[in-house]
Amino acid sequence: MGKFQQSNLGSVILDHHPTTAAGGNFRLWSSCRRKIINTMRCGGGGGGYRHRHTAKSPVVEKPKEEEEKRSECRSDVIQNQRNRKSKKSEKLSELLRMSDSWSSEEEDVKKKVEVLEELKRVVKGLQCGGDAEVLGGAREVRRLAKEDLDARTTLALLGAIPPLVAMLDSDDLDSQIAALYALLNLGIGNDPNKAAIVKAGAVHKMLDLIEPPNDGLPNPDVYAAIVANFLGLTALDSNKTIIGSSGAISFLIKILKNSSKSNIDSQVVQDCLRALYNLSILPSNVSPMIEIDDFVPFLLTTLGDMEVSDRILSILSNVVSTPEGRKAVSAVHDSFQILVDILSWTDSPNCQEKATYILMVMAHRSYRDRQAMIESGVTSSLLELTLLGSTLAQKRASRILEIIRIDKGKQVSETFGGGSIGSNVSAPLYGSVDPILTDPSEDDRMMSDENKAVKHLVQQSLHSNMRRIVKRANLPQDFVPSERFKSLTSMSTSKSLPF
């Protein structure tokens, strides 16, 4: 009822307003309606109303936090998607790599199977084929085993060594050479193959090949291949005894001695020397070497050749390690002079070190050899070597000089009557001993006539011995003895001596 009255009142007011006309009423109503609509859209108030934040009305930030959380979730989702993609790509690449490795392994397996089948075919041809097939098989073994360590092992396991050794009995020269070089390549860097070759009897068959009908040398290709085989086989310690007692040493030495007469290749000479060095490492093989006529003199006289000096000195270093070898070296005329000359004219550190080693061993073992070295003028060469040589050569030269110095000290000690006092004298002293003999001391006056006679005899003996030493040392005759010498002589002839 109130509402009704109010609406009527409003209409009346609007109708009877003095300033209102029909068009004006319409404009007023439309403006009011716009304001009402704007107020409803903005949440009440007027069109120009703004909500003012005060201290009692906090700012609401929940929408911003939610936006941040949503952005973080979106970034996490995007990152997870990227991680999944990267993991999938990694797995895919890994699968591709595995497939590539599988394919490469399959290819390697196929190649190994093919190589094995080829090796089986070659060995079967050696064992069961005819002459032509056996010769071709030996050449194939030589080719396959030249640079392939696995092929050497596999061929030996398949049984290639016995038929190759049996081929050495053939009368065909090509078969012999092919078998020798096939065995040589099978033994390179393979100790089990070297032992198997010797066990199969190859050494004696090789020596049978080098027994020509006349006194000359066999075919050059044959003995060159045999020397190369001996070089490889002697590198194994278990083969040194068998080869050394088989007669191979005399064959190798014969090749060396004929190298100057015949046109033997230098590589064959080097192989001979290296094989002899391998054999000389075993002391039991030194005796057969020095028993051969003129072997040690041949080595010493060949030291002038620089191409073989290093190898020869290596052999001599092993020879002098035995008493028989030292005797053989010292028995050669001018042997120490040759070794001393090596120290003077060669500039090779290896030659100097090995020469000083030989001299050191010889000087340490024999007084006679030390005297021969001194007479050969070794002292000056050793002194020069202690200044200009390598570290090892300097140490060895100093050791030899020390041995010689101790030897001289012993000589002086023995000359002065021995004892602990005389051993301290390091150089011969000589002079007129008459003042000592004619200067009676208080002790002399208290000595008995018997002791005085013994003292006089001892002093005369010292005097005569010193004269011989001074004459040998070329000292001046007017040399005056030092006070130390007088005191030593007086002490050595005092009454405390057990006369």
Q: What is the pLDDT of residues 121-141, one digit of tens each?
A: 999 989 888 888 999 999 999
Q: Which two tokens stand for residue 305?
A: 């050749």
277 Cβ contact list (under 8 Å, min separation 6): 311, 314, 315, 318
395 has a pLDDT exceeding 90 = yes
375 has a pLDDT exceeding 60 = yes
CA distance 201 to 242: 10
Q: Cα–chain-centroid distance for residue 393?
A: 20
CA distance 6 to 404: 151
CA distance 468 to 458: 16
Q: What is the pLDDT of residue 432?
A: 33
Residue 169 DSSP symbol: G
Residue 245 DSSP symbol: T
Average pLDDT rounded to a whole number, residues 215-234: 87
CA distance 180 to 167: 9
pLDDT (tens digit per residue) in 289-344: 999 888 999 999 998 777 889 999 999 999 999 999 999 999 998 899 999 988 88
Q: What is the pLDDT of residue 486?
A: 42
CB 459 within 8 A of CB 416: no
pLDDT (tens digit per residue) in 5-58: 444 444 444 444 444 444 555 555 566 667 676 666 555 444 444 445 444 445
Query: CA-based angle 491:496:499, to the nearest 5?
Result: 110
CA atoms within 13 A on the CB side of 112: 8
Q: Which of 58-72, 95-109, 390-404 has the lowest mean pLDDT?
A: 58-72
Average pLDDT rounded to a whole number, residues 226-243: 95
AA identity, residue 211: E
Look over the chain and give the mean of its residue pLDDT values, rounded to a whole number.
75
pLDDT bin (cut points 50, 70, 90) of residue 440 is very low
CA distance 161 to 176: 14
461 has a pLDDT exceeding 70 = no
pLDDT bin (cut points 50, 70, 90) of residue 406 is confident
Q: What is the pLDDT of residue 485?
A: 42
276 has a pLDDT exceeding 70 = yes
pLDDT bin (cut points 50, 70, 90) of residue 462 is low
pLDDT (tens digit per residue) in 411-425: 555 554 444 433 333
Q: What is the pLDDT of residue 33?
A: 67
CB 166 within 8 A of CB 173: no
Tell which phi-psi region holds residue 294, choosing left (phi > 0), alpha (psi between -120 and 50) or beta: left
Q: What is the pLDDT of residue 411?
A: 56
Report helix, strand or coil for 368: helix
80 C-beta neighbours (distance < 10 Å), count: 10
